[in-house]
Amino acid sequence: MRAIQQAAWGEAEPLQLVEVEAPEPAFGEVLVRVSAAGVNPVDVYTRRGQAYNRVLDLPFINGWDVAGAVVQTGYGVSRFRPGDLVFGMPWFPREAGGYAEYVAAPARHFARMPAGLSFNEAAALPLAGLTAWQMLTEVAAIAPGKRVLVAGAAGGVGHLAVQIAKARGAQVIGTASAAKHDFVRALGADEVIDYTTTDVSAAVRDVDVVIQMFGGEAGLKALNCLRPGGLLVSGQAAWTPGLHERAAELGVRAVVFLVDPDGAGLDALAGLVTQQRLKVHVDAVYPLAEVAKAHDHVAGGRTTGKIVLTVGEPE
């Protein structure tokens, strides 16, 4: 099969289109022919050797977001049959090999694609969608009437978090540059703040939950937006030294978060898509061979929604 492989950690140059052996599904696994693969910031960090490399070995096939068709099932799989169209985030943070024509992984790392969703849209949804879903529903237990601040509300996780929080009955404040305010409002945000011209930590107060995908000083300042006892859920706590100590000083809480593969969560996301309460926005699509351009796009930090690679068509 064709795959994008790297033999060294670093910049985009090590990403090479190669021919490798296709995987075989083990007991409880499915083999998926990949039609599209999502590209996430974590893919860029991992390529550079900045994330999860303790559980990864070179040569390495990057990518976790995939959508395609089941072509083979391992012993004991009852969740899917060959021909089923699926999407998922297998194995994260261990190697899934998403930038390839075939992926083998446990059946419960996938869900059926909602009707009407394209392969590109489906591939854009799993990692960002599960991150937003798990942060909001499992960690923060969002309920009607809660006030939620979504930092980076036009980004991959952010634009899905706004919609999920609204679907759960929350009041949502989003941050985005001025050019993206209409986009974020269309997602359902009740208020949008331009973080490039406004000190968000001074302008927003007494929210119940902050969804934060930025580390460093931005993560620390976001704690000021919380009500006493409020919760910041951070996807970048490792890059925010002193987060828990500062939270304790302010009388608020901070939780370190890392997304898990979750078929039930994917089913919930698919349900929201079917109900037309969740829509994933694909900002740009690149062919598999242009993965370096896709990484550069993501690394620029100005993506609206998600970036996707086209891999192939299902058999």
Nearest to 72 by CA among 98, 45, 33, 110: 33
| Both structure tokens of 239 | 């890059």
pTM over 0.85: yes
Mean pLDDT computed over 73-98: 97
More confident residue, 121 or 49: 121
Q: What does pLDDT average to over the chain? A: 94
Query: Taking 50 as the threshold, does the pLDDT of residue 313 lie above it?
Result: yes
The C-alpha atoms of residue 131 and residue 65 are separated, in whole angstroms, by 12
Return the pLDDT at 108: 97
Q: Residue 314's pLDDT is what?
A: 46
Reported confidence tier of residue 10, pLDDT bands at 50, 70, 90: confident
Which amino acid belongs to residue 291? V
Strands 171-175 and 191-193: parallel
Give the SS3 label for residue 229: strand
The pLDDT tens digits for 176-203 are 999 999 999 999 999 999 999 999 999 9
First to last CA, the chain: 14
The separation between CA 60 and the C-alpha centre of its own chain, rounded to angstroms, equals: 20
pLDDT in the model for residue 240: 82
pLDDT at 185: 98
- Give the Cα separation of 67 and 24 in Å (integer): 18
What domains sit in the chain, N to C, each tagged with a CATH number?
2-125+280-310 (3.90.180.10), 128-256 (3.40.50.720)
pLDDT in tens, 103-149: 999 999 999 999 989 999 999 999 999 999 999 999 999 999 999 99
